[in-house]
Amino acid sequence: MSETVRIVACPTCRAEVRWEPQSRYRPFCSERCRLIDLGQWASESYKVPAQEESPPGETLPPTH
C-alpha cells in the first residue's frame, strides 16, 4: 500500500510543499518564506483579533 503525501500551499508564496518530515521548513517552502512570515508577525502586520477587557469592577458600555 502506498502512502499519499499531502501537498499544501506555502503561506507566503503559495508554492506547493510536500507535508512530510523531509520538508524542513513546512508549511513554508524555504527558510526565506519562513523568515518573511516571522517578520510580518514581528512588525505587527499580522494580528490576532481580541476583545478588550475592562479592569475589575469597571464595565464597558454596550455597543450596538
pLDDT confidence of residue 60: 61
pLDDT confidence of residue 3: 78
Residues in the annotated binding site for Zn(2+): 10, 13, 29, 33
**CA separation, residue 39 to residues 4, 10, 33 (Å):** 33, 16, 10
The 10s digit of each residue's pLDDT in 9-49 is 999 999 999 999 999 999 999 999 999 999 999 998 988 88
| Type of residue numbered 58 | E
Closest CA to 29 of 38, 18, 45: 18
Structural domains of the chain, with CATH: 6-42 (3.30.50.10)
Has this prediction a pTM greater than 0.85?
no
pLDDT confidence of residue 61: 65
Q: Is the pLDDT of residue 2 over 80?
A: no
**CA separation, residue 38 to residues 3, 11, 27, 33, 57 (Å):** 32, 11, 13, 9, 38
Residues in the annotated binding site: 10, 13, 29, 33
Q: Is the pLDDT of residue 7 over 80?
A: yes
